[in-house]
Amino acid sequence: MKNQIIIPKSSLDFLQQLKQNNNKPWFEENKPQYLTELNYIETFAGALLQELSKTDVLETASGKKSVYRIYRDIRFAKDKTPFKTFWGGSFTRATSTRRGGYYFHLEKGNSFFAGGFWGPNAADLKRIRSEFAHDSGTMQKILKSKSFVSTFGTLQGEQLKTAPKGFDITHEAIDLLRYKQFLIIKRFTDDEVLSSQFLEQALETCKNMRPFFDYMSEILTTDINGASIL
């Protein structure tokens, strides 16, 4: 593990300055610093991608390819500020048999790694709920495991206030059946992000997502009888 690869304080400080000067003239004037800080983030992402690829199959080509553009799409937004004020990026798991993806968000006072299923389509959501209604034991075991609880706490995401259509409000797995999103999130302090141990902590966080990803992948690539649908 290359622990010497760190995120410098200047990378978070630049975002704070950008937040206070979110306009194109200031950004153009400070673009050399932006490119310097972006390089630090891309280098970190590249090191994490390299380590993560030892235990998962990813289609993201490089750290540079994983980092999102700093420019906001303001065409339909009420907020017309042109730049994002965080470093964000993601790693995509390869092929349709591996579901779920890794996302990182780095910002002073609001840094986290997340994964899961932000907007499952109607067919996927129905399949997930059918599985939980049939047998929620495997998912409950994952959510109660020591590594999951110590890293992520609990499953997060939007939930229905009542039972989804076609399911009984008294079902023993109703708490799972209510979810419309299935998200797992690990937050980090600024000190943790700037630490020489952050690469290792980020890798461990991503690895701890795998039991959840792997089981959800199994659900979404099979029918209720466990037969492959791919």
- Model pLDDT, residue 172: 94
User: Given strand 87-92, what is the order of strands in its sheet?
Assistant: 87-92, 101-106, 111-117, 182-188
Amino acid identity at 177? L
Would 229 be classed as within a structural domain? no
Q: Please name which of 140, 214, 212, 145 lies closest in space to residue 183, comparing C-alpha atoms.
A: 212
- Model pLDDT, residue 77: 82
Q: How far apart are CA 13 and CA 22, in angstroms?
A: 14
Q: How far apart are CA 51 and CA 185, in angstroms?
A: 20
What range defines the domain where residue 175 resides?
A: 9-220
Q: How far apart are CA 121 and CA 132, in angstroms?
A: 17
Would 2 be classed as within a structural domain? no
- Model pLDDT, residue 95: 80
> pLDDT tens track of the chain, all 230 residues?
544 799 999 999 999 999 999 999 999 999 999 999 999 999 999 999 999 999 999 999 999 999 999 999 888 888 899 999 999 999 999 888 898 899 999 999 999 999 999 888 999 999 999 999 999 999 999 999 999 999 999 999 999 999 999 999 999 999 999 999 999 999 999 999 999 999 999 999 999 999 999 999 999 988 878 788 76
> Beta-strand (E) ranges in the chain?
87-92, 101-106, 111-117, 182-188
- Model pLDDT, residue 230: 67
- Model pLDDT, residue 26: 98
Q: How far apart are CA 34 and CA 69, in angstroms?
A: 12
Would 188 be classed as within a structural domain? yes
Joined together, the tokens standing for residue 191 give 């000190």
Q: Please name which of 47, 150, 159, 56 lies closest in space to residue 104, comparing C-alpha atoms.
A: 47
Would 1 be classed as within a structural domain? no
Would 40 be classed as within a structural domain? yes
Would 22 be classed as within a structural domain? yes
Would 4 be classed as within a structural domain? no
CB-neighbour burial class of residue 157 (10 A; exposed 0-12, middle 13-18, buried 19+): middle
Neighbouring C-alpha atoms within 13 Å toward the C-beta of 118: 6
Helix, strand, or coil (residue 182): strand
Task: Give me the residue label for tokens 């199959």.
Answer: 57
- Who's near 20: CB < 8 A, 6+ residues apart? none
Would 227 be classed as within a structural domain? no
Q: Please name which of 128, 111, 130 lies closest in space to residue 120, comparing C-alpha atoms.
A: 128
Neighbouring C-alpha atoms within 13 Å toward the C-beta of 81: 12
For the chain, the domain total comes to 1
**CATH code for the domain of 128:** 3.30.930
